[in-house]
């Protein structure tokens, strides 16, 4: 008997954490596992329908495929047309309930347009490749799998859920105030927001994303007197536009560095003349070695972690620009259609803590906070100022935005279980 007691104690302590799940949560987990083949089949169909951001009909087709999944679950689905922004539109689904509102965010479009050679879903074991297989069609199938599991367990019946699937996340329509109007409105009335972009992993460990940095374009234009190069940097001629542009860019490099901030220069040109095309993606210039440059242009981006950091750094950049070399001028203009930062907040951390409670009950490792410098901008940033937000709840994989993009199919049920249980618990929380 004395030998049995320690053995019984050991067995009790070694019991799986899944024993902490409620009966309906265990039914949700079982439903996810039972429907894995269906989930993968849905992913294949979504991936094989091209939905590059500029393929408006393709984006709408994927929206209709998602409508067919959501309406049978009791969602009221509508299409928000966005032709005025140059894009297809967004799918918005609502499931009214008595509890707190949970907003689910993902996107229908991909970076792969119809002329891309990368068009089809392929599978090798538990690894699948295809355009948008992770970003973000993997995220959409996680949402569907989670909701179907909730329906199977009876927890969807009274759940208050809103879903916004944008159709232009990879190439946002303009003006952005119109393009993100519906998402922003949904965030203002939500109690929690969950975004289903790719799951981040670090050394094989699933990570929690409570923050994302902003993404804003800027354009720098410098001008100077032109003339024979024998007078360059002289009292009359001055140093010309190229030296002024380089002065500014090098000052950015030397004076701006701080944590969670980057400022890239993507394209530049200088000469007599020099200009960017109307898209801002191409630059042209001409000139001679014995002529002082009359114009110089550069375009880049700024990424920051908080609104305060963003405002302060913009002011620093403008102050650097204003210190002109003799007989030169320069102007720095920030784009109006950028993505705001999703700052790390205590509310977001509390939401990750709730997810880690789900992890413990599922017998999964805790998810630490991901370094925000390792994530790009995403739609969750448009609601994060109004509602506690958690990002990166989609599928695990890699190679996003490149041919060969892939997803770990074994991550789909893990993410769907996490999502189903977390959504259920959040909708039932009492208001404080």
Question: Which CATH number is correct for 216-334, 3.30.70.260, 3.30.930.10, 3.30.70.360, 3.20.20.100?
Answer: 3.30.70.360
pLDDT of 431 = 77
Domains 17-212+341-427 and 216-334 share a fold: no
Q: Which residues pair with 391 in a beta bridge?
A: 209
DSSP three-state, residue 283? strand
Domain positions in the chain are 17-212+341-427, 216-334
CA 355 to CA 103: how far, in whole Å?
15
pLDDT of 88 = 98
Cis peptide before 136 (omega within 30 of 0): yes
Residue 237 pLDDT > 80, yes or no? Answer: yes
pLDDT of 396 = 97
pLDDT of 2 = 46
pLDDT of 376 = 86
Cis peptide before 175 (omega within 30 of 0): yes
* Per-residue confidence band for 425, with pLDDT thresholds at 50, 70 and 90: very high
CATH architecture of the domain with range 17-212+341-427: 3-Layer(aba) Sandwich (3.40)
What is the per-residue pLDDT across 106-135, written as a single tens digit (0 to 9) for each? Answer: 999 999 999 999 999 999 999 999 999 999
Residue 8 pLDDT > 60, yes or no? Answer: no
Cis peptide before 6 (omega within 30 of 0): no
* Per-residue confidence band for 13, with pLDDT thresholds at 50, 70 and 90: very low
What is the per-residue pLDDT across 257-276, written as a single tens digit (0 to 9) for each? Answer: 999 999 999 999 999 999 99
C-alpha triplet 174, 176, 182: angle, nearest 5°: 120
Give the residue among 165, 133, 193 at the shortest CA–CA distance from 395: 133
Contacts 24+ apart (CB under 8 A), 309-312: 309/258, 309/260, 309/261, 309/341, 310/214, 310/216, 310/340, 310/341
What is the per-residue pLDDT across 35-89, written as a single tens digit (0 to 9) for each? Answer: 999 999 999 999 999 999 999 999 999 999 999 999 999 999 999 999 999 999 9
**Are the beta carbons of 195 and 392 closer than 8 angstroms?**
yes
Give pTM, 2 decimals.
0.90
Question: What average pLDDT does range 130-148 have in this prediction?
Answer: 98
Q: Which residues pair with 128 in a beta bridge?
A: 123, 407
């Amino acid at each position: 008997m004395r030998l049995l007691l320690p053995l019984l104690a050991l067995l009790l302590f070694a019991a799986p954490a899944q024993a902490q799940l409620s009966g309906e949560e265990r039914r949700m987990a079982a439903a996810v596992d039972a429907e894995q083949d269906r989930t993968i089949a849905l992913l294949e169909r979504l991936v094989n329908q091209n939905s590059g951001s500029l393929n408006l009909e393709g984006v709408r087709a994927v929206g209709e495929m998602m409508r067919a999944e959501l309406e049978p679950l009791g969602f009221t689905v509508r299409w928000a047309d966005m032709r005025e922004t140059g894009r297809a539109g967004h799918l918005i689904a609502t499931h009214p309930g008595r509890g707190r509102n949970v907003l689910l965010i993902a996107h229908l479009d991909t970076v792969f347009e119809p002329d891309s050679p990368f068009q089809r879903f392929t599978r090798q074991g538990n690894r699948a490749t295809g355009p948008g297989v992770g970003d973000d069609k993997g995220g959409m199938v996680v949402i569907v799998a989670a909701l179907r599991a909730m329906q199977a367990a009876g927890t969807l019946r009274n759940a208050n859920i809103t879903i916004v699937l944008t159709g232009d996340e990879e190439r946002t329509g303009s003006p952005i105030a119109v393009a993100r109007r519906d998402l922003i409105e949904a965030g203002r009335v939500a109690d929690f927001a969950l975004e289903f972009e790719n799951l981040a992993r670090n050394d094989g460990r699933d990570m929690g994303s409570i923050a994302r940095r902003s993404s804003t374009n800027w354009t720098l234009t410098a001008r100077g007197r032109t003339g024979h190069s024998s007078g360059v940097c002289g009292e009359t001629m001055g140093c010309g536009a190229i030296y002024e542009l380089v002065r500014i860019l090098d000052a950015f490099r030397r004076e701006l560095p701080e944590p969670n901030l980057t400022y890239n220069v993507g394209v530049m040109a200088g000469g007599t003349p020099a200009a960017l095309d109307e898209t801002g993606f191409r630059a042209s210039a001409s000139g001679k070695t014995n002529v002082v440059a009359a114009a110089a242009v550069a375009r880049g981006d700024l990424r920051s972690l908080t609104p305060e950091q963003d405002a302060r750094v913009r002011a620093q950049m403008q102050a650097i620009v204003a210190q002109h070399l003799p007989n030169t001028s320069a102007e720095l203009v920030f784009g109006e259609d950028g993505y705001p930062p999703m700052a790390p907040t205590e509310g977001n951390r509390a939401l990750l803590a709730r997810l880690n409670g789900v992890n413990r009950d599922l017998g999964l490792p805790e998810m630490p906070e991901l370094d925000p410098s390792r994530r790009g901008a995403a739609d969750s940033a448009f609601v994060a100022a109004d509602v506690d937000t958690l990002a990166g709840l989609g599928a695990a994989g890699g190679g996003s935005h490149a041919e060969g993009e892939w997803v770990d199919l074994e991550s789909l049920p893990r993410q769907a279980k996490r999502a189903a249980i977390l959504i259920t618990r959040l909708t039932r929380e009492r208001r404080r």
